[in-house]
């Protein structure tokens, strides 16, 4: 393969995201995800968006009047990581990746419901 074609192929390769992970030096994907989801209000935002998009105000109300500053920081984090998107005239909604994450939470939700009755 000529040098130029080799260089172009390398340039096309998408670089892996470096994610800061609190409490872990490995940076493994599961640790990065748990770090993101463990931040205050993150899980609640994802949960409230499960039924469809919400405006900033409606989302703040659904999140028991969370601080607008914290809410916006978390929404920015979730948008940056591809879980949430801002939809014109609708507000914030889950992306396909966000919906996939939500589907993975449903077994945990069912478990929590059973656990709460014991």
Q: What tens digit of pLDDT does each residue of 58-108 get?
A: 999 999 988 999 999 999 999 999 999 999 999 999 999 999 999 999 999
Structure tokens at 87: 């939809």
**Residue 14 binned pLDDT confidence (cut-offs 50, 70, 90):** very low
User: How is domain 25-116 classified at the architecture level of CATH?
Assistant: Orthogonal Bundle (1.10)
Average pLDDT over residues 35-45: 94
Contact (CB, 8 A) for 98 and 49: yes
Instruction: Check pLDDT > 70 for residue 6.
Output: no
Which region holds residue 41: left if phi is over 0, alpha if psi is between -120 and 50, else beta? left
Secondary structure (DSSP) of 21-54: -TT-SS--HHHHHHHHHTSTTHHHHHHHTTTS-B
Residues 6+ apart with CB under 8 A from 58: 91
């Amino acid at each position: 393969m000529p040098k130029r074609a080799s260089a172009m192929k390398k340039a096309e390769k998408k670089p892996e995201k470096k994610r800061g992970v609190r409490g872990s030096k490995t940076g493994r994907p599961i640790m990065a995800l748990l770090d993101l989801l463990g931040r205050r209000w993150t899980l609640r935002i994802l949960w409230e968006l499960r039924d469809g998009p919400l405006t900033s105000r409606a989302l703040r109300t659904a999140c028991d009047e969370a601080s607008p500053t914290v809410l916006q920081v978390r929404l920015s984090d979730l948008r940056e990581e591809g879980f949430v998107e801002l939809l014109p005239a609708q507000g914030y909604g889950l992306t396909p990746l966000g919906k996939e994450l939500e589907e993975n939470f449903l077994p945990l939700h069912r478990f929590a419901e059973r656990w709460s009755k014991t």
